[in-house]
């Protein structure tokens, strides 16, 4: 059993520290969290370490409960010996310190084995839980087992471009119509955003040690320790390769040979672990056959371009890689609840970067390229989009560029070309 005096001290300390956290800019996910809080369900906030989950929880606490909540971060090193048997003592101390409250805010709860049993028991007696974690698989599988249909999951990514403009005091450049000065400032802000990314602490202090420490913590705590990885060097090599190649197709066989790992399944497992820890995301190919979709190679994207940049993955000669990664993250923010996101390969093997499906219907095709000035690039991007539109019976498509805007009418189809900064600010 954990020491009662120590637990009391930790509760006081953490609650005080939570209240002293700067609220910062209101996260776009806050409205989603507040809507979920109105439901009788357990609310789960997932995302990479240091993406702002604690701040989001504080914002929700102030707005919905006037801070009348119980709070505990289970990653405090003094709680290493905390087990599921200590939850009753925790509740007793909570009541002793704060009186009776019905709302629990728990950070990184997945470090406690069988935590979901306690949440289920207390939930059934009318208590409200808002919990956060940095491992997608553990939270979803455990909650699905114990709280089937009684939880809502909200994913928090690093700052969007709109949030970044607020944090960096550039919000004034967003005016309609944009004048020459505002257009220049907006492009400048986007160029900074593509290199800094959206990890709140790094955006604020711009010290590369911050992102490097975050990366090491994720890799060590959320992957190496959690999954008891023995081939640490190979895992690191794989992680670096994946983060160095946003938008690339993954060949597990080639990666197995490069990293000298025992099997393709080991590579697949490691990729799964890195994705669970929110370091990377994978994207499937859209296909009419489930078998084809399952067997087709996946594409990979990183959680944050600033993280990739400071770790040394610089694309000075191919910033289109960052462009595509940023578009992926924004599509994931916008459409994760009501659309499925894929990439698309035409019958003659032309590739379209992104394909959105709603229900059984494809609703949008999107290409991403730095510019369309080069005739070869222009022909390739348009050809792939037109061919895909014909196969999927669509009349319109979208090309996102660095700063070009035009409308193309080709073979009875319409292609809108839009500058990425403007697209990121669209509602």
Phi, psi of 139 (to 5 degrees): -65, -50
- Looking at the fold, whether 118 and 194 belong to one and the same domain comes out as no
Q: Are residues 146 and 186 in the same domain?
A: no
The model's pLDDT over 185-237, given as tens digits with 9 standing for 90+, comes to 899 999 999 999 999 999 999 999 999 999 999 999 999 999 999 999 999 99
Q: How many residues belong to the chain?
A: 427
For residue 327, is it within any domain?
A: yes
Would residue 261 count as lying in a domain? no
Residue 126 shares a structural domain with residue 184: no
pLDDT at 174: 72
Q: Is residue 245 part of a domain?
A: no
What would the two tokens of residue 62 be? 């102030």
Same domain, 194 and 134: no
- Is the Cβ–Cβ distance between 200 and 167 less than 8 Å? yes
Helices (H), 218-304: 232-244, 252-259, 264-276, 290-295
Same domain, yes or no: 149 and 169 = no
322 found inside a domain: yes
What does pTM read for this prediction?
0.94
Residues 71 and 170 in one domain: no
Q: What is the pLDDT of residues 141-185, one digit of tens each?
A: 666 676 777 888 999 999 999 999 999 987 777 766 677 888 888
Q: What is the pLDDT of residue 418?
A: 97
Q: C-alpha distances in angstroms, 97 versus 48, 91, 101, 256, 367?
A: 31, 10, 11, 54, 56
Q: Do the beta carbons of residue 321 and residue 252 sit within 8 Å?
A: no
Binning the chain into helix, strand and coil, the percentages to the nearest 5 are 50, 20, 30
Q: Are 399 and 378 in contact (CB under 8 A)?
A: no
Residues 324 and 394 in one domain: yes
Is residue 85 included in any domain, yes or no? Answer: yes
> How many structural domains does the chain have?
3
Contact 118, 86 (CB under 8 A): no
What is the per-residue pLDDT for 293?
82
Residue 141 within a domain = yes
167 plus 50 within the same structural domain: no
Residue 221 domain-assigned (yes or no): no
What is d(CA 375, CA 362) in angstroms, rounded to the nearest whole number? Answer: 29
Q: Count CA atoms within 13 Å of residue 421 on its CB side.
A: 24
Per-residue model confidence as pLDDT tens for the chain (427 residues): 899 999 999 999 999 988 888 888 999 999 999 999 999 999 999 999 999 999 999 999 999 998 899 999 999 999 999 999 999 999 999 999 999 999 999 998 888 988 988 999 999 999 999 999 888 766 666 666 767 778 889 999 999 999 999 999 877 777 666 778 888 889 999 999 999 999 999 999 999 999 999 999 999 999 999 999 999 999 999 999 999 999 999 999 999 998 888 899 999 999 999 999 999 999 999 988 887 888 899 999 999 999 999 987 655 455 788 999 999 999 999 998 778 999 999 999 999 999 999 988 999 999 999 999 999 999 999 999 999 999 999 999 999 999 999 999 998 999 999 999 999 998 7
Of all helices (H) and strands (E), which one includes residue 192?
Answer: helix 180-196
Please measure the distance between the N-terminal and C-terminal CA atoms of the chain and give it in whole angstroms: 51
CA distance 366 to 344: 10
Q: Which DSSP category does 24 fall into?
A: -
Q: What is the CATH number of the domain that holds 96?
A: 3.40.50.300
Distance in angstroms (rounded) separating the CA atoms of residues 304 and 399: 22
**Residues 112 and 193 both lie in one domain:** no
Q: Which of 404, 268, 423 is nearest to 330 (CA)?
A: 423
Q: Domain containing 169: what range?
A: 161-202
- Distance (Å, rounded) from C-alpha 235 to C-alpha 2? 35
**One domain, residues 176 and 134:** no
**Are residues 179 and 115 located together in one domain of the fold?**
no
Show the tokens assigned to 101. 């409250």
At 317 the pLDDT is 53
Whether 146 and 189 map to the same domain: the answer is: no
Position 14 in a domain: yes
- Number of Cβ atoms within 10 Å of the Cβ of 126: 8
Widest CA span in the chain:
75
* Beta-bridge mates of residue 79: none
């Amino acid at each position: 059993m954990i020491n009662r005096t120590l637990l009391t001290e930790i509760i006081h300390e953490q609650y005080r520290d939570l209240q002293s956290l700067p609220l910062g800019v209101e996260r776009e996910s806050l409205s989603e969290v507040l809507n979920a809080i109105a439901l009788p369900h357990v609310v789960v906030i997932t995302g990479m370490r240091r993406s702002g989950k604690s701040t989001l929880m504080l914002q929700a606490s102030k707005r919905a409960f006037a801070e009348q909540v119980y709070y505990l971060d289970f990653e405090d090193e003094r709680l290493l010996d905390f087990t599921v048997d200590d939850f009753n003592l925790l509740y007793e101390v909570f009541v002793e310190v704060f009186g009776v409250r019905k709302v629990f805010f728990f950070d990184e709860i997945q470090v406690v084995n069988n935590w979901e049993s306690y949440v289920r028991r207390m939930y059934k007696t009318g208590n409200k839980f808002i919990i956060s974690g940095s491992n997608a698989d553990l939270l979803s599988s455990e909650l699905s087992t114990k709280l089937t249909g009684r939880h809502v999951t909200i994913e928090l990514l690093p700052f969007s471009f709109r949030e970044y403009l607020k944090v960096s005091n550039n919000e004034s450049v967003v005016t309609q119509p944009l004048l020459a000065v505002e257009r220049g400032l907006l492009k400048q802000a986007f160029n900074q955003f593509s290199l800094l990314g959206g990890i709140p602490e790094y955006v604020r202090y711009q010290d590369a040690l911050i992102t490097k420490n975050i990366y090491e913590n994720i890799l060590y705590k959320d992957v190496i320790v959690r999954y008891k990885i023995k081939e640490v060097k190979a895992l690191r090599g794989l992680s670096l390769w994946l983060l160095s190649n946003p938008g690339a197709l993954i060949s597990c066989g080639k990666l197995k040979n490069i990293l000298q790992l025992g099997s393709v399944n080991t590579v697949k497992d490691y990729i799964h672990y890195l994705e669970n820890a929110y370091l990377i995301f994978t994207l499937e190919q859209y296909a009419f056959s489930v078998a084809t979709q399952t067997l087709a190679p996946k594409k990979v994207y990183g959680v944050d371009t600033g993280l990739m940049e400071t770790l040394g993955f610089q694309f000075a000669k191919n910033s289109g890689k960052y462009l595509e990664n940023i578009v992926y993250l924004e599509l994931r923010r916008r459409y994760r609840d009501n659309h499925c996101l894929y990439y698309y390969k035409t019958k003659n093997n032309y590739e379209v970067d992104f394909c959105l499906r709603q229900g059984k219907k494809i609703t949008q095709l999107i290409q991403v390229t730095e510019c369309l000035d080069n005739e070869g690039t222009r022909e390739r991007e348009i050809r792939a989009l037109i061919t895909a539109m014909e196969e999927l019976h669509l009349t319109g498509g979208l090309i996102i560029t660095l700063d070009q805007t035009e409308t193309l009418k080709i073979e009875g189809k319409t292609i809108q070309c839009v500058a990425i900064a403007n697209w990121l600010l669209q509602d």
